[in-house]
Amino acid sequence: MKSLFPYALRRVLALVLAALAFSVSGFGADVGSTEAEVLEALGEPTSRMSAGSVTILNYPNRIFRIENDTVVSIRRLGGCGDPAPAASNGKACGASSRTSSGTSKSMSSSSTGSTSSASSSASAASKASSGPGAAAAKRPTGPALEWGTEYRAAAERAASTKRPVFLFFTGSNWCTWCKKLEAEILETTLFRNYAAQKLVLVKLDFPRGIPQPEWMISQNQALSKKYRVTGYPTVVMLSPTGKFLASLGYAPGGPVPFVTALQELENAP
């Protein structure tokens, strides 16, 4: 009997450790997995972005980059705070990718031009929020968002600057979730800095009780129908040439996962 007890104890401990490993890693959700395996392991993502052979799956604590139906990198957000922070060893926190030979390597935090400045802004805002000037620090800094309302002018600017178009379908004076998206994500220092460098912004408003020009009503309704907008808020991302890339909505978690997913989409062919 004495010899059986340690064995049984070791067996239970092994099962517990295996269960913990399963829950932490997410079976079928690692570099080399297929998109179907990620969805089976983690369920539907908060948002999905696609461009050519690249798909970005955005979950609250990690971002999956999939190329040709294979996960090539995972950027983990839990415990890292910024989209691409520099760890003490000079590598991006929790990010990994697979090379053509099947080995893993760390993703550099300099993969996009705006990552460093956006990360610095997020870090500064986070530190300031715990200091004596916390109330003032919550007000966003950085360039104010430059919203256009005319789609054609925005499309021409996108083509000339080679920037994606960010179409924001909203009900500005009545939609609670639209207001939350603006307050918690769009009107933050992180998103402001990113948008100033990378995006052409267009606000397509569907207010209640506020008159609008006929051309604006017609334009907004036509774009809403074209991109199958069924609720607000909806963000539609278009490539600089007008190709549909993604449709997004409000999701909790602040600007970091939102901006990180947009950064991952930048290098799509």
Is residue 238 in a domain? yes
Any long-range contacts for 214-217 (C-beta under 8 Å, 24+ apart)? Answer: 216/149
DSSP lists the bridge partners of residue 59 as 62
List residues bridging with 203 in a β-sheet: 168
The CATH number of residue 189's host domain is 3.40.30.10
Establish if 215 belongs to a structural domain: yes
206 located within any domain: yes
How far is the C-alpha of 155 from the C-alpha of 132, rounded, in Å? Answer: 44
Task: Give the pTM.
Answer: 0.63
CA–CA distance, 77 with 59 (Å, rounded to integer): 9
Report yes or no on 151 lying in a domain. yes
Is residue 192 within 8 Å of 143, Cβ to Cβ? yes
DSSP letter for each residue of 151-185: HHHHHHHHHHHT--EEEEEE-TTT-HHHHHHIIII
Residue 191 lies in a domain: yes
pLDDT tens-digit profile, the chain (269 residues): 555 556 566 665 655 454 444 444 445 688 888 988 888 888 888 777 776 688 888 887 888 888 888 998 888 875 443 444 333 333 333 333 333 333 333 322 333 333 344 444 444 444 444 444 434 446 778 899 999 999 999 999 999 999 999 999 999 999 999 999 999 999 999 999 999 999 999 999 999 999 999 999 999 999 999 999 999 999 999 999 999 988 888 888 889 888 988 888 776 66
Closest C-alpha among 209, 222, 192, 244 to residue 48: 244
Tell me if 237 is assigned to some domain: yes
Helix axis angle for 115-128 and 255-266, nearest 10°, is 170
Per-residue confidence (pLDDT) for residue 76, from 0 to 100:
82
Q: What angle do the packed helices 189-198 and 115-128 form, to 10 degrees?
A: 160
Predicted local confidence at residue 202, as pLDDT = 98
Contacts of 57 (CB under 8 A, 6+ apart): 35, 38, 39, 45, 48, 63, 64, 66
Going by their DSSP bridges, the two strands 54-59 and 70-76 should be labelled as: unpaired
Query: Which domain does 184 fall in, by range?
Result: 139-251
Q: What is the pLDDT of residue 234?
A: 96
| Residue 188 in domain | yes
Q: How many CB atoms lie within 10 A of CB 250?
A: 22
User: Does 76 reside within a domain?
Assistant: no
Considering its fold, how many domains does the chain have in total? 1
Q: How many CB atoms lie within 10 A of CB 144?
A: 10
What integer pLDDT is reported at residue 126 of this predicted model? 41
